[in-house]
Structure formats: structure tokens, C-alpha cells
A and B are shown apart, each in its own frame.
Chain A
Amino acid sequence: MDGPKVTMDVRHVGDAAAVVDIRGDVTAACEPVLMSAYEQAGGLTATRLVLNFAGLEYMNSGGIGMLVTLLVRANRHRQQLAAYGLTEHYREIFELTRLDEAITIYDDEASALAEAGSAR
């Protein structure tokens, strides 16, 4: 069976934040990969999860739906979700779907993590 065409690598930054580097296609099919990344990222009690979309090549509405379910999980564990690396195209999709009202978008990783630091 072919797996989803995406990789999600987790980097822990200090003990309060984790960055998920997303490369490839974000569709409903990659939910197991995202949830696995989430478990890795949140397992060390990270209070802020930062999604790096710089390697995003394709996203459909199923992918947006999957991000909403991730958001529910994060909220349940009182974790904040942030994103950076979105091109103008994908930033507009976040705004169109009003996902940007729950997942804060930053221009770069330093800004996203700086905010995490100030939120502690």
C-alpha cells in the first residue's frame, strides 16, 4: 500500500515548544502521519506546537479538515497551535477558511518561537 506523500519531522525547542516540519501533500490521507507527529511533539509536555509549512507542495479541503481535528486535540490539552512558512497562496486559504483565527500565522520560525517564549 502506498503511504501518504508527506513527511512530518518533529524538533523540540526547549521544553515548551515543538516544531513540526511538513514536507509534501497535506490531505486527509496524511492524518496518521500528522497525529503521530503530534504525539511526538506533545509527549514532552510542549505547550506550543509550531507547524512549519515551508515544504508544503499541495493541500486540499481534506487537509484543512485534518488541521481542524488537530486543533481540537491541541485545545483539549491546552496547547497553542502556530504556523509559519506559508506561501501567499496557502496563507489566503487559511484566511478563507478562517483557520487563521485559531492557528496564529507567523512569517518565520524565530517569530513563532519568540511568541512561545513570551507566552510562558
Chain B
Amino acid sequence: MTEAAGPERVRSAEQIELSVREAAAGIPRDGTPRDEGRWAAKVERLDVVARDGVRGTNVAGRRLTGPVQGFGQMWQKTYRLPLGDHLTPEAAIATWKAHFPEFWPAGNRFAGALTGISPGDVALLDLAVGGGVKLSTGVFVLYADEESFTLMTPQGHMFAGWITFSAERGADGTDVQAQVLMRANDPLYEVGMLAGGHRKEDVFWAQTLTALGRYLGAPEAPVQTRTVCVDTKRQWRHAGNVWHNSMVRSVLQTIAAPVTALRRRRSG
């Protein structure tokens, strides 16, 4: 359990006060859950709106995948950055939501809704994987509130799971955090993760948090990383996920791009 200092007590007191107000107003008892509107509505398959600057493939029609549906070992990775006491958690998350793509490392594109991060949004991604290939995939905004938001991955993404971005009061002020709970989606990705993919992911999120810290006035803050293997077993019954592998499909789409462009030109 994390240490809870003074500010934690203040926040809890506010929550208790809120609970009392809600109870007095009958909110929790009238069937309306307190988290109403923070979760995305249920979807079976993802719908995609075309966005500029990304290829936008390998997302439409895909199902969401959590750690239950993934193949590889299950990992929980936590990347944490202390911002100091000049910013509230709510202000940090509001900025992170509003400028989310700007903090990504160079060469990677996140094309989300212009309105920012809202439950139910689908963002399209082009990720630099080396060799001139862009891995085209996406993410779904599963949950969002004032102090956190969570992205969930579709079939074909490198991993099956979710990433929660949050901010909270620590001992010395506000800390921001990205926490990944994931399994590699299929055997090919599992090999890739073990052969340097985990390291690449660590660098990716450390660079992202560093960029966020720089933007929020904490340019020298160090990123703390904690990695836990939650489940060493692989789920072989999900090995067939490889059919949706967006890496393989992105390579094929890159090779076929000139032919596809020619066909489009001829047809219209």
C-alpha cells in the first residue's frame, strides 16, 4: 500500500463529505452509480473515424482485448514522475488529456478526437517500430475521470490490456503515473517483447512522462519504473490471436501501398 500523507487525508475527507452529500441527496441509492458517465458505453466492435496523419488501418471492426484475452506473460509496469506541489492532480490530468499526443516520443502518432480524451473515443496510432515500418493500430478510451483515464487495446495491438494514466497527491506533492497491465497479444509479439520490446516500451513511457514533466514545470524530475510479472504462464489457447497481428499486417500494407495507391487513382 502506498504511504498516505496529509493531502491524502484531505482528499478522503472531501470524498467522505461528497458521499454524505450524495447520501443526503439519495444519489447512490437511486440506482445512478457514482461512476456513471466515466465508463465508455459497451461496444462489440470498434467504429473508426478517418483522421489525418495516420494510416488508420487494423482498427475498424476489431474487438477490444484485455489481459484475459492476451497470450503472453502478464505484466504490470508502473512509470511514475513527481511533479512537485505547484499543481493539483486534477490540473495535471486535465493538461495530460488536452495535450496527450504532444508528449509522445518523436516518430509516433496518436490521432484522437479533437475534443481530447473522452470515454468511448477511438484513437488511431502509427507507431515507429524500426526499418521504416509504421505499426498501425489504435486504442479505445475505456474510462476517464478528473484524476485518471484508461486506454484499452484492440485485437492486433502489440499487447492485450489497458494503460491507466493518473495523478495523485504523494508525500511531496503531485505525482503522475502511467500503469500498464498487459499480456503480449500473440506468440510473435511475445517473442518481440522478450527480445527488446519491453525495454523499448520502458523507454517510450519514460520519454512520455519526461516530456509531460517538462511541460508541467518539472523538467528535471526522474521517472521511477516498477515492473512486476503478475503471471508467468502463457495462454496458449489465445495463440490464434496472431491472425490479427497488426505488425504483420502493417508490413504487408506498407509493401502493398504503391499498388493500392495506383488502384485508387485508376478507380477514381
List residues of A whose CB falls within 8 A of some B CB: 1-2, 5, 29, 31-32, 57-62, 65, 68-69, 71-72, 75-76, 87, 89-90, 92-93, 95-99, 101-102
Contacts and interface: CB of A to CB of B under 8 A. Distances in A.
A53 B63 CA distance: 26
Contacts of B166: 62
Interface of B: 1, 3-4, 8-9, 12, 15, 19, 28, 31, 33-36, 38-43, 63-69, 74, 76, 142-143, 145, 148, 150, 152, 162, 164, 166, 179, 181, 230-231
B8 A2 contact: yes
Secondary structure dominating the interface of A? helix
9 contacts: A32-B1, A58-B33, A61-B148, A61-B150, A71-B68, A89-B33, A92-B39, A97-B64, A98-B63
A70 B229 CA distance: 14
Given A96-B142, A101-B69, A58 B35 contact: yes
B152 A97 contact: yes
A18 to B, nearest CB: 22
> Which DSSP category, helix, strand, loop or mixed, fits chain B's interface?
mixed
Given A68-B67, A87-B33, 19 more contacts: A1-B9, A2-B8, A2-B9, A57-B33, A60-B38, A60-B143, A60-B145, A61-B143, A61-B150, A62-B164, A69-B76, A72-B230, A75-B231, A97-B142, A98-B64, A98-B65, A98-B66, A98-B69, A101-B68
